[in-house]
C-alpha cells in the first residue's frame, strides 16, 4: 500500500467501483471528505441481510446529492480541500463536480481507482458490512478509466495525506496593506533595493499580504502593478478588500444591488470601466489566501489564532477573527508556523506574530519585513483617506429619505419621489431632485434631469409674478420624458425615464432613438460631454390627449452630471441640438421657444389646444402652464358617475389615483358645486363649468 501526499486546497473527485478503496484512501482525512454513503445513511437507514451484506436505498439519491452539493460548494467557497467520495464512474458523473470547482476557481483532479475485480471482491469480504458482488460488478463495468479532465489512476490501495499547496522558498520581503497608495509602494520597494523591473541583486522576492485596493488614489493601477509583479515571479494573497471587489464585480455583472463602503464601490466602478477588466478580476480571483514561506512563516492577510494551513478557511484568512484577541492566543507552542499578517494593528508583543498593518491609508506608513534578515522597513504615505471627500451629500439624502423610492439596476440607482408626496403636498428640496436622478454605486450622478417644476399656483408657485414680466416660454409636448447620457461602464448609452431604468417606456425611447438614427450621434457626443440630455418622447404606443402627426424625440433639456449644476438655458440647449445635427448630419428637433410676458402666457393657456408651456428665466424654471383645453379633456375623459361620486365623497383618496396637474382643479370643483348639480350636467355643461373654474 502506497502513502501519497496530495496538495491541499484542491477538489479531488474519487472515482471507482463500490469497494475499490476510495473511502479507505481518505480514512484519516474525514474533515475533508464529502461522502455519498454518509449522507445516504443520514437520510435513510441501511438495510442488512443475513450474510451481513448492506444496501442503501437509491430512492434518496436526489436529496443526497443536493446535500452533497451544498456542502461541496461551501468548501469550495472557503478554498478548503474536498474529497468527493462517491462512485463517479463516468465523465458525466464527474463533470458536475468539475463545473462547481471551476465556478469557484478551484483546482481539481480526478482520482481513478482501477483495481482488479478479484482484488475488489476480496477487499469487500473483509469489510464490516459488505455489498453484493453484482453491485461491485455493475460499477466496475461502468468505470471510465481515463478522463478529459486532469486525472491520476491507482491500481492498488493507497492512503492519502495533505501538504500545504501554497508553499514557497526564498528570501522574501512581505509587504503589508497598501490600499491603492501605488506611488509610495513603489518608493518602499525601491528602498528595499529592487530595480524598476522588480528584480533584486540578492534575488529577493515580494509577497503582498492583500488589501492592495480601495481608499487610496490608484487602486486600479495597483492591481496592474501587483499582477505584473506576480507574472514576474513575485507573490500576492487575497485580503478582505480583494474579496469584496470580486463580490461587487460579480453583482454588477448580474445587475444586483451593490452595497458596502463607498471606497469598495468606487473601486468596483473604476474596474468595470477598464478594457482589461476581465483579466484584472481573473487575476484577483486566482490569488491564494495564504502562503507557507520557508516552512517557517504562515502568511495571511488577517488576524487568526491557528496557523494550520490545512484547515484555514478563505474568509477567516481574509477577514480575521473579530471576537477574540488573536495575537495573544497565537503563541509559538501551539502553532506550527510564525504568523505574518496585515489587516489590523498588532495587539500584543508576541514575537511569533509579525504585523505589517501600519495605517498607511490613514496617515501612517506602508511596512515590510524580510524573511531572512528579519528587518522591518516602513515609509510614510502622507495620505489620509478619512480626510478625503468620499460621500455625495445628495446621494445620502436621497438614499435615506423615506418618501423616495429606489429602483436598482446593477451599477445604477434611480430615485423617484413616492406618489403620496403629491396628494399630501410633502415637498422638500430633496424630493424636488428625486425626479429620475440616477447615481452609480460610487455615488456619481449618471442621469441629471431637471428638478420638479410645479404648475402655476400649485403650492403658491409664481403667485407674485406680475403680468408685465417677460420670460422664456417653451411649448410643452404631450409625451413622456426620456433621459439619455453616456454609460462608461458598458460603453453605451444609459437611457431612463423619470421612474425606470428598465421598462416598456425605456424600450419605446430606445426604439425612437434607433428610428431617428440618433444612437451613434448621441453616443459620440455624450461620450465627450459629461451631461444628461432630456427628450420629450412621442410614441404611437403611448397615446395622449394632444394628437401629433408623427412620432419622435424633441430635445427639451440638458444638464451637467454634477450635483451643483443647474439646467442649461434654452439657448444652450439649442446650441447642443444644432451642434449634434451639424456634426452628424441628423435632425435633433426642438419644441417652439419664444419670449412673452407672463400675462400673455396666461391668456395663451386659456385658448391654445396644446398641453401647455414651461416658463423659464435663464437657468431657472419658474413654473409650467397647462392649457384649459388640455386639463378639461384630461379630466372629463377619465370620469364617469361612479368616479364623480367618489371624488366628491372622498376627495383625498380620489386624488391618490389622479395626476398631479388636476389636483387644484379637483379641489376647486368639489368646493364650487354640489355633487347632485354636477351629476345632472351634460358633457357640454360640465366642460363649460370646468373652463370657467380654470379661468378663475
Measured in whole angstroms, how far is the alpha carbon of residue 87 from the centre of its chain? Answer: 39
CB of 451 closer than 8 Å to CB of 621: yes
Helix intervals (H) in 176-261: 182-191, 219-231, 240-253
Measured in whole angstroms, how far is the alpha carbon of residue 379 from the centre of its chain? Answer: 35
Secondary structure, 3-state, 345-361: CCCCCCCCEEECCCCCC
Q: Which of 571, 497, 504 is nearest to 532 (CA)?
A: 497
Q: Going from the N-terminus, what domains does the chain have, and what CATH number goes with each?
A: 2-163 (3.40.50.300), 167-385 (3.60.21.10), 393-626 (3.30.470.30), 628-695 (no CATH)
Enter the C-alpha cell of residue 334.
Answer: 501551539
Q: Cβ–Cβ contacts within 10 Å for residue 221, how many?
A: 14
Backbone φ/ψ region at 275: left (φ over 0), alpha (ψ -120 to 50), beta: alpha
pLDDT (0 to 100) of residue 343: 94
Q: In sequence order, what DSSP letters do the residues of 188-203 get, joined into one string?
A: HHHHTT--TTS--TT-
Mean residue pLDDT of the chain comes to 91
CA atoms of 186 and 553, how far apart (whole Å): 52
What residues are paired with 175 via a beta bridge? Answer: 208, 368
At 291, give phi and psi (nearest 5°).
Answer: -140, 135
pLDDT (0 to 100) of residue 49: 56
Enter the C-alpha cell of residue 186.
Answer: 513603489
pLDDT (0 to 100) of residue 545: 84
At 565, give phi and psi (nearest 5°).
Answer: -75, 135
pLDDT (0 to 100) of residue 640: 86
pLDDT (0 to 100) of residue 51: 52
pLDDT tens digits along 561-609: 999 999 999 999 999 999 999 999 999 999 999 999 999 999 999 889 9
- Helix 641-649 and helix 663-672, axial crossing angle in degrees, nearest 10: 80
* Cβ partners under 8 Å of residue 525, min gap 6: 576, 579, 580, 583, 584
> Which residues does the chain have with pLDDT short of 50?
50, 53, 55
- Between vectors from CA 375 to CA 374 and to CA 378, what angle results, nearest 5°? 140
pLDDT (0 to 100) of residue 522: 97
Residue at grid coordinates 494593528:
345
* Cβ partners under 8 Å of residue 56, min gap 6: 37, 40, 41, 44, 46, 47
CA atoms of 530 and 494, how far apart (whole Å): 12
- pTM listed for this prediction: 0.82
Q: In sequence order, what DSSP letters do the residues of 47-96 get, joined into one string?
A: EE-TT-BEE--GGGHHHHHHHHHHHHHHHHHTT--EEEES---SHHHHHH
Query: 3-class DSSP state for residue 44?
Result: coil
Q: Which of 208, 276, 209, 282 is nearest to 245 (CA)?
A: 282
CA atoms of 209 and 417, how far apart (whole Å): 45
CB of 360 closer than 8 Å to CB of 222: no
- Between vectors from CA 187 to CA 181 and to CA 193, what angle results, nearest 5°? 140
CB of 385 closer than 8 Å to CB of 365: no
Amino acid at each position: 500500500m502506497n502513502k501519497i501526499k496530495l496538495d491541499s486546497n484542491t477538489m479531488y473527485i474519487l472515482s471507482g467501483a463500490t469497494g475499490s478503496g476510495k473511502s479507505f484512501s481518505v480514512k484519516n482525512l474525514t474533515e475533508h471528505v464529502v461522502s455519498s454513503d454518509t449522507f445516504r445513511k443520514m437520510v435513510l437507514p441501511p438495510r442488512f441481510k443475513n450474510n451481513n451484506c448492506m444496501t442503501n436505498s437509491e430512492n434518496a439519491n436526489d436529496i443526497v446529492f443536493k446535500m452533497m452539493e451544498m456542502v461541496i460548494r461551501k468548501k469550495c467557497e472557503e478554498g478548503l480541500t474536498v474529497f468527493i467520495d462517491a462512485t463517479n464512474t463516468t465523465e458525466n458523473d464527474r463533470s458536475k463536480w468539475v463545473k462547481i470547482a471551476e465556478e469557484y476557481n478551484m483546482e481539481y483532479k480526478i482520482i481513478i481507482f482501477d483495481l482488479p475485480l478479484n482484488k475488489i471482491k476480496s477487499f469487500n469480504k473483509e469489510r464490516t458490512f459488505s455489498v453484493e458482488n453484482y453491485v461491485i460488478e455493475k460499477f466496475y463495468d461502468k468505470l471510465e478509466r481515463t478522463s478529459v479532465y486532469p486525472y491520476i489512476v491507482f491500481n492498488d490501495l493507497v492512503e492519502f495525506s495533505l501538504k500545504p499547496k501554497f508553499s514557497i522558498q526564498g528570501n522574501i520581503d512581505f509587504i503589508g496593506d497598501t490600499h491603492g497608495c501605488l506611488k509610495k509602494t513603489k518608493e518602499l520597494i525601491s528602498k528595499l533595493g529592487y530595480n524598476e523591473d522588480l528584480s533584486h541583486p540578492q534575488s529577493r522576492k515580494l509577497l503582498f499580504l492583500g488589501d492592495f485596493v480601495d481608499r487610496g488614489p490608484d487602486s486600479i493601477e495597483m492591481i496592474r502593478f501587483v499582477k505584473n509583479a506576480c507574472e514576474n515571479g513575485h507573490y500576492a494573497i487575497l485580503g478582505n478588500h480583494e474579496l469584496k471587489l470580486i463580490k461587487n464585480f460579480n453583482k454588477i455583472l448580474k445587475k444586483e444591488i451593490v452595497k458596502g463602503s463607498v471606497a469598495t464601490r468606487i473601486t468596483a466602478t473604476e474596474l468595470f470601466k477598464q478594457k482589461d477588466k476581465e483579466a484584472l478580476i481573473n487575476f484577483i480571483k486566482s490569488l491564494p489566501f495564504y502562503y507557507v514561506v520557508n516552512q517557517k512563516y504562515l502568511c495571511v492577510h488577517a488576524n487568526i489564532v491557528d496557523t494550520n494551513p490545512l484547515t484555514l478557511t478563505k474568509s477567516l484568512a481574509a477577514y480575521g477573527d473579530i471576537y477574540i484577541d488573536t495575537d495573544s492566543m497565537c503563541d509559538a507552542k501551539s502553532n506550527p508556523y510564525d504568523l505574518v499578517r496585515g489587516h489590523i494593528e498588532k495587539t500584543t508583543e508576541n514575537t511569533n506574530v509579525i504585523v505589517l498593518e501600519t495605517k498607511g491609508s490613514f496617515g501612517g506608513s506602508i511596512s515590510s519585513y524580510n524573511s531572512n534578515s528579519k528587518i522591518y522597513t516602513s515609509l510614510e504615505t502622507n495620505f489620509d483617506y478619512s480626510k478625503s471627500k468620499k460621500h455625495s451629500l445628495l446621494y445620502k439624502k436621497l438614499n435615506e429619505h423615506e418618501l423616495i423610492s429606489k429602483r436598482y439596476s446593477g451599477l445604477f440607482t434611480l430615485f423617484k419621489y413616492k406618489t403620496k408626496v403629491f396628494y399630501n403636498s410633502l415637498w422638500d428640496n430633496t424630493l424636488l431632485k428625486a425626479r429620475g436622478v440616477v447615481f452609480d454605486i460610487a455615488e456619481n450622478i449618471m442621469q441629471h434631469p431637471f428638478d420638479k417644476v410645479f404648475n402655476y399656483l400649485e403650492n403658491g408657485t409664481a403667485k407674485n409674478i406680475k403680468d408685465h414680466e417677460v420670460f422664456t416660454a417653451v411649448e410643452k409636448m404631450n409625451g413622456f420624458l426620456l433621459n439619455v447620457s453616456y454609460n462608461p461602464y458598458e460603453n453605451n448609452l444609459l437611457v431612463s425615464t423619470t421612474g425606470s431604468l428598465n421598462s416598456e417606456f425605456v424600450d419605446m425611447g430606445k426604439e425612437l432613438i434607433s428610428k431617428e438614427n440618433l444612437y451613434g450621434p448621441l453616443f459620440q457626443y455624450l461620450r465627450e460631454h459629461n451631461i444628461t440630455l432630456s427628450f420629450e418622447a412621442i410614441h404611437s404606443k403611448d397615446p395622449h390627449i394632444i394628437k401629433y402627426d408623427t412620432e419622435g424625440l424633441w430635445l427639451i433639456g440638458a444638464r451637467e452630471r454634477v450635483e451643483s449644476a443647474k439646467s442649461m438655458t434654452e439657448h444652450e440647449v439649442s446650441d447642443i441640438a444644432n451642434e449634434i445635427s451639424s456634426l452628424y448630419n441628423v435632425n435633433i428637433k426642438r419644441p417652439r421657444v419664444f419670449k412673452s410676458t407672463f400675462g400673455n402666457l396666461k391668456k395663451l393657456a386659456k385658448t391654445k389646444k396644446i398641453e401647455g408651456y414651461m416658463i423659464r428665466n435663464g437657468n431657472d424654471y419658474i413654473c409650467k402652464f397647462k392649457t384649459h383645453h388640455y386639463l378639461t379633456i384630461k379630466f372629463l375623459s377619465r370620469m364617469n358617475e361612479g368616479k364623480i361620486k367618489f371624488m366628491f365623497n372622498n376627495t383625498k383618496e380620489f386624488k391618490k389615483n389622479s395626476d398631479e396637474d388636476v389636483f387644484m382643479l379637483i379641489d376647486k370643483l368639489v368646493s364650487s358645486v354640489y355633487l347632485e348639480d354636477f351629476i345632472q350636467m351634460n358633457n357640454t355643461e360640465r366642460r363649460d363649468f370646468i373652463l370657467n373654474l380654470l379661468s378663475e
